[in-house]
């Protein structure tokens, strides 16, 4: 506990400043000290013990839409850098979405629903493979990583991409489907919402996404050294949080041209594309994740389970 308190003393100013930058007049963070002392600082000590000087470790951080993955990733990165003096990069699987033009081709050649970013098969998994291979290479050279702008639903131009100049000690790879596993084929047959029933009656779209999980994404997630999973109590909570998230995106981006933020109804329809895999992760991911953080209805972490390996 002494080490946790010492760490908290050194990082609280920076962490609180970051948390404040993420707050809005409506959405305020509660129990900030408890979040740091009880959950995120202990997580950082756990990660620091995994360090391998010969090659970086890749931590997958997964959780449904709106669970706070990006915020938690940012705070953890800040603590690892400031207190543990580690070189950390945070990467979102969302930044590897295929471009609008690439998804348009997919929607024509495979299924119309693949125009909507989200499910496995709508990311450029080859680009992620290339990143993982390069970052683990002994002859590391600087890397440029793509950046995706959700407010225009397209990849940014390369001049805006992220630059990784030095090989990191830790990569935190976050995303809603990070670590997800394929379902058994027979489970695919029954529709779980109106979108599947009306727009995918022949199972083409859901089979495509499931096959991607079974093949390309399985190979991809094998690169992960550990998985941290943020688990809410229900899919309805995710819908609520995602609506808030979209509202904040609109507030921060409303001056942009070609803005493609969504209404409440559009968010609910959009999230139906995520529902099958998300709900399957509710059941399966706690079985193989290294750490499970359970979230309550107020968007707070209320317990942590560390799995022994």
Would you list the domain boundaries of the chain? 2-306
Residue-level pLDDT at 297: 79
| CA–CA separation, 28 and 14 (whole Å) | 17
Q: Which residues touch 204 (CB under 8 Å, ≥6 apart)?
A: 110, 111
How far from the centroid of its chain's Cα atoms is residue 167's Cα?
22
Strands 88-92 and 162-164: unpaired
| CA–CA separation, 249 and 262 (whole Å) | 9
Architecture of the CATH domain 2-306: 3-Layer(aba) Sandwich (3.40)
Residue-level pLDDT at 309: 61
| CA–CA separation, 42 and 58 (whole Å) | 18
| CA–CA separation, 78 and 120 (whole Å) | 29
Residue-level pLDDT at 85: 96
Residue-level pLDDT at 188: 94
pLDDT tens-place values along the chain, 309 residues long: 679 999 999 999 999 999 988 876 666 777 899 999 999 999 999 999 999 878 899 999 999 877 889 899 999 999 999 999 999 999 999 999 999 999 999 999 999 999 999 999 999 999 999 999 999 888 888 899 999 998 889 999 999 999 999 899 999 999 999 999 999 999 999 999 999 999 999 999 999 999 999 999 999 999 999 999 999 888 888 877 777 777 666 555 555 555 555 677 777 777 899 899 999 999 999 999 999 999 987 778 999 999 876
Residue-level pLDDT at 169: 95
In 3D, which of 268, 244, 256, 220 has the Cα closest to residue 71? Answer: 244
Ramachandran quadrant class, 248 (left: phi over 0; alpha: psi -120 to 50; beta: rest)? alpha
In 3D, which of 221, 226, 174 has the Cα closest to residue 59? Answer: 226
């Amino acid at each position: 506990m002494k080490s946790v308190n010492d760490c908290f003393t050194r990082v609280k100013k920076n962490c609180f400043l970051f948390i404040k930058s993420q707050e809005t007049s409506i959405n305020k963070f509660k129990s900030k000290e408890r979040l740091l002392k009880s959950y995120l600082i202990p997580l950082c000590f756990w990660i620091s013990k995994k360090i391998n000087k010969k090659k970086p470790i890749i931590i997958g951080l997964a959780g449904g839409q709106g669970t706070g993955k990006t915020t938690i990733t940012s705070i953890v990165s800040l603590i690892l850098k400031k207190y543990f003096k580690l070189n950390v990069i945070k990467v979102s699987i969302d930044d590897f979405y295929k471009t609008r033009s690439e998804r348009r081709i997919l929607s024509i050649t495979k299924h119309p629903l693949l125009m909507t970013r989200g499910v496995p098969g709508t990311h450029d998994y080859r680009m992620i493979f290339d990143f993982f291979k390069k970052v683990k290479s002994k002859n590391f050279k600087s890397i440029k990583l793509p950046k995706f702008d959700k407010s225009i639903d397209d990849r940014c131009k390369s001049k805006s991409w992220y630059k990784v100049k030095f090989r990191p000690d830790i990569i935190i790879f976050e995303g809603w489907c990070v670590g997800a596993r394929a379902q058994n084929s027979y489970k695919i047959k029954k529709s779980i919402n109106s979108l599947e029933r009306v727009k995918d009656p022949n199972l083409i779209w859901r089979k495509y996404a499931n096959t991607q999980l079974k093949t390309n994404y399985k190979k991809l997630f094998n690169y992960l050294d550990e998985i941290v999973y943020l688990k809410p109590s229900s899919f309805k909570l995710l819908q609520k949080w995602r609506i808030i998230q979209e509202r904040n995106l609109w507030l921060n981006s409303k001056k942009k041209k070609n803005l493609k933020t969504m209404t409440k109804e559009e968010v609910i329809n959009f999230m139906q594309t995520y529902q099958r895999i998300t709900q399957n992760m509710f059941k399966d991911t706690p079985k193989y994740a290294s750490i499970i953080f359970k979230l309550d209805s107020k968007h707070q972490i209320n317990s942590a389970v560390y799995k022994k390996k």
